[in-house]
Amino acid sequence: MDEQSDRELLEALGVAAETKKVAARTPREERIIAGFEDILKFVDEHGRPPQHGEERDIFERLYAIRLDRLREQADCRTLLAEFDRYDILEPAVPDHGSFTEDADDNALLAELGVEKVEALDITNLTHVKSREEVRAAEEIANRTVCEDFDRFKPILERVKKDLEAGVRQTRRFQTMAEIKQGEFFIVGGQIAYVAEVGEEFVTEYDRRDSRLRVIYDNGTESDVLLRSLQRALHRDEAGRRITDPSAGPLFGGDAADDDLESGTIYVLRSKSQHPEIAPHRELIHKIGVTGGKVETRIANAALDATYLLADVEIVATYKLFNINKTRLENVLHRVFSAARLDLTIEDRFGHPVRPREWFLVPLSVIDEVVDKIRDGSITEFEYEPELAGLRKTAN
């Protein structure tokens, strides 16, 4: 019986043949799904979601940041619900229950074998390569303990925070690209800092080369030739150059998806009577960016755990033009990260929530930060709680 007669038989029986309609996804949705599938692969391999922590390798931390961002966006959670076989998209879940903890961070890195680490955007894809490919940088594997690591630790920690905040980005290392003193790279799964570049000399093959002192974020260092580091970065599929800190384009420049023709930095103060908030009300501020009216955004604050389930008052606003919303918020939260309010409250459904946009910082310092955003110098500063003011970063 051919296809036509099958259809006629169904019609004779009063059965309507139904063709399933598959909703077309946008390119952005496809990229979000692909990025989430990479996180699921990590859970498949390690038995737990990726986690934050300086003791964990750079790749796991980047996965953890991506997962946080997916959890924070309701449209992403809706899109990914059918793929979430481990229920890891539930926001602010303090305990992962059946997930077991792997003790060896080096083993995690070896198993993960990440090929790509681009800008910290959930639409970027991360591909998994074999363990052997992660070891492509063996030319610089002869490392020793860095005896004066205390000098470099704050610099490397600053770079990690900048990567997590999106202030710095990573770029694929170009073949035999130039390497200069003071630059940062990712090689062999670790952040590498070029602390010193020795005098240039000519090799027996009439090639110019230099001896480098390279410091790694695990407390080791290597005395390596510049050309050897170039080769290692080129052969390592996960090898990346880390860009210089940049606020831009915060203002102007080419348009991007998150660019706003005009926007507002808003500063809010909570009217909550929570015992950890009320005594410090004058210092606790929520800092954010919106392209609409602030009054509309806070209309239902008392019902939203993001606003501490209480009404808020607007204490300051700053009008900006041609801004990149996501990058600007990342910069603001990076500057004030040391003063982030550490508080967990329950939402209306009894789920624990840790609001991330509230900071213990004086309004006068927020004014100063906005001025430095406008003149482009903010990337050189961070908030120091002990000083109750800004200080220049280590690098």
Q: Give me the pLDDT at residue 395, please.
A: 55
Cβ burial, residue 289 (10 Å; 0-12/13-18/19+): buried
d(CA 325, CA 260): 7
Model pTM score: 0.40
Q: What are the DSSP E strand ranges found in 152-246?
A: 170-172, 184-187, 190-197, 201-202, 208-209, 211-216, 220-225, 240-242
In whole angstroms, what is the distance from residue 164 CA to residue 393 CA? Answer: 16
- Asked whether the beta carbons of 35 and 68 are under 8 A apart, the reply is no
Q: Are strands 144-145 and 220-225 parallel, antiparallel or unpaired?
A: antiparallel
By the 8 A CB rule, do 308 and 381 touch? no
- The residue ranges of the chain whose pLDDT is under 70 are 1-23, 54-55, 57, 91-142, 165-167, 175-176, 205, 245-262, 322-323, 394-395
Distance between the two ends of the chain, CA-based, in angstroms?
A: 77
- Strands annotated E in 291-392: 312-324, 345-346, 352-353, 358-360, 381-384, 389-392
Task: For 140-185, write each residue's pLDDT tens digit.
Answer: 456 889 999 999 998 898 888 878 766 677 888 876 678 888 899 9
Cβ-contact 338, 385 below 8 angstroms: yes
pLDDT at 12: 61
Element (H, E) at 283: none
Q: CA dihedral in degrees (253, 254, 259, 263; nearest 10)?
A: 30
Q: How far is CA 144 from CA 73, 150, 187, 304, 374, in A?
A: 44, 15, 16, 52, 44
44: three-class secondary structure by DSSP:
helix
Contact at 8 Å (CB) between 167 and 223?
A: no
Element (H, E) at 142: none
pLDDT at 267: 93
The residue written with tokens 């309701």 in the block is: 74
Q: Are 41 and 111 in contact (CB under 8 A)?
A: no
Q: What's the pLDDT at 291?
A: 79
Question: What's residue 23's pLDDT?
Answer: 59
Q: How far is residue 109 CA from its own chain's centroid?
A: 18
